[in-house]
Amino acid sequence: MLLGVPKETHPGENRVPVTPESAKKLVRLGAEVQVEAGLGAGSGFEDAEYTEAGATVVADREKLLGEADVLLRLRKPAVEEIGLMKEGCVHISYLDPFNEHELVHAFRERKISAISMEMIPRTTRSQKMDALSSQANLAGYVMVIQAAAHLPRIFPMMMTPAGTLKPAKVFIIGAGVAGLQAIATAKRLGARVTAFDTRPVVAEQVRSLGGTFLEIDLGETGETAGGYAKELTPEQIEKQREAQKAVIAESDVVITTAQVFGRKPPVIVTRDMVEGMQPGSVVVDMAAETGGNVEGSVPNEVVQISGVTVIGKGNLPNHVCRDASVMYSNNLFNLVDDVWNEEESKLLIDLEHDMLSGCVITHGGEVVNETIKNLLA
Ligand code: NAD
């Protein structure tokens, strides 16, 4: 079975879906692996390393796309690329299927089995394939490093003959995978950390990392069966904003990571809250690209609001592209390995498989994922 890995084309994307190490493991599985020339350049992986791993390096992208039985990549393809792919092949990448309806239809029409990395079930068994988590983890780390780089103060307390410096105060809103890593990173740097999340179950996790959990009584919030936050009512959001105001005003750094799966992120830090912070303070909005948790944040830019630096940079894992590539590529390899049939030496799409039933979006000319099917109906 021929596995093809085309180069990422999104501007500035340096991550690589398959590292030479993963290519080697795929070859060991019995697959033939073709990678596009220059595939790993952005993350410092050279063509020669892929060749040494047993893969073939090809320069002709269209040929690679047209011949592969399975395409392994990071970002969703352009709709125009679908026509170049082999009918009935398997395509694995992030897909954004909630928003990319045209893409889903194009996959369906070409009878491609499209697997969405975002839709891998968040179960214990699928953890090793969970790219949302692996990349969010790194994003949490990167946000703290960016905040520290822009803050005109240091994070740890320092007692020196030249004076005593107080630790920076960091407030983290949203303590999922990214938020928890941000808490851990800020603590490691010596900051005093407070955090809030609408899922009460998170309070203990925040405390176990050495953070203080901000208690806000929002009434019933709970979480979905999948462990995701439920959307708050407008009244609850208002209550949350009010209760956070004082903590935000006295924080040196505010990091927001609040998401509600399949929805636009909630706006939880308003412009007047940013204006209420001390000049020189830093706000990092992880959701800037998808609508923003912070009023006034600008996607992919660093802006000043009343002397407060507001960071809205997107694609955060790309800032540590080498490690992000290693993690994503491990996720991808684990997925292929999990559904690889050794006897036939091929990847099998079985819709009864508990992991595949969640993340296969189209198969055999149909939209097979129930959530996306209902969305498109
Ligand atoms: P996410 O990216 O969907 O959301 C980030 C955080 O924002 C969540 O913790 C959410 O509760 C929080 N949030 C939403 N609205 C908020 C608001 N108004 N104010 C403050 N916080 C708000 O979350 P995620 O990081 O992808 O994790 C989602 C869940 O999935 C968590 O329970 C996590 O533990 C779980 N998970 C499980 C596994 C597994 O078992 N394999 C793997 C990864 C994540």
Q: What is the pLDDT of residues 132-174, one digit of tens each?
A: 999 999 999 999 999 999 999 999 999 999 999 999 999 999 9
Catalytic residue status for 130 = yes
What pLDDT score was predicted for residue 181?
Answer: 98
List Cα–Cα distances, 159 to 167, 191, 204, in angstroms.
Answer: 10, 14, 31
pLDDT band at 109 (very low <50, low <70, confident <90, very high): very high
Tens-place pLDDT, residues 295-307: 999 999 999 999 9
- Which ligand 1 atom is nearest residue 229's CA? 11
Is 133 an annotated catalytic residue?
yes
Provide the mean pLDDT of the chain: 96
Q: Residue 192's beta-bridge partner residues? A: 169
Residue 223 has what pLDDT?
A: 77
Q: List, in sequence order, every residue forming a beta bridge with 41; answer none if it has no partner.
A: none
* Pocket-forming residues, ligand 1, beta carbon under 6 Å: 122-124, 127, 130, 132-133, 136, 173-179, 196-199, 227-229, 232, 240, 257-261, 266, 268
Distance 374 CA to ligand 1 centre (A): 24
How far, CA to CA in Å, does 344 sit from each of 61, 231, 347, 367? 27, 45, 9, 26
- Can you list the alpha helix ranges (DSSP code H) found in the chain? 20-29, 47-52, 61-67, 79-82, 101-109, 131-150, 177-188, 202-208, 234-249, 271-275, 321-338, 356-359, 370-376
> Rounded CA gap, 74 and 253, in Å?
31
Task: Please state, in angstroms and rounded to a whole number, the distance separating the CA atoms of residues 300 and 292.
Answer: 11
Q: Rounded CA gap, 14 and 72, in Å?
A: 16
Tell me if residue 165 falls in helix, strand or coil. Answer: strand
Q: Quick count: other Cβ atoms within 10 Å of Cβ 234?
A: 8
Residue 249 CA from chain centroid, whole number:
29
Q: How sure is the predictor about 20, in pLDDT bands with cuts at 50, 70 and 90?
A: very high
Nearest atom within ligand 1 for CA of residue 237: 18
Query: pLDDT band at residue 266, thresholds of 50, 70 and 90?
Result: very high
Q: Which of 122, 153, 271, 322 is catalytic?
A: 122
Residue carrying structure tokens 């501007």: 11
Is position 322 annotated as part of the catalytic site?
no
> In the predicted model, is pLDDT for residue 70 greater than 80?
yes
Q: Is 50 a catalytic residue?
A: no
Q: 334-374, pLDDT tens digit by residue?
A: 999 999 999 999 999 999 998 999 999 999 999 999 999 99
Q: How far is the CA of 29 from the centre of ligand 1 (A)?
A: 34
Ligand 1 centroid to 169 CA: how many Å?
Answer: 23
What integer pLDDT is reported at residue 122 of this predicted model? 87
Q: Which atom of ligand 1 is nearest to the CA of 121?
A: 41
Task: Give the pLDDT confidence of 205-256 residue by residue, as tens digits.
Answer: 999 999 999 999 988 887 777 778 888 999 999 999 999 999 999 999 999 9
Contact 66, 89 (CB under 8 A): no
pTM to 2 decimals? 0.95
Which candidate, 224, 220, 240, 75, places its Cα nearest to that of 174? 240
**Site to substitute for ligand 1 among 143, 197, 205, 285, most atoms within 8 A of C-beta:** 197
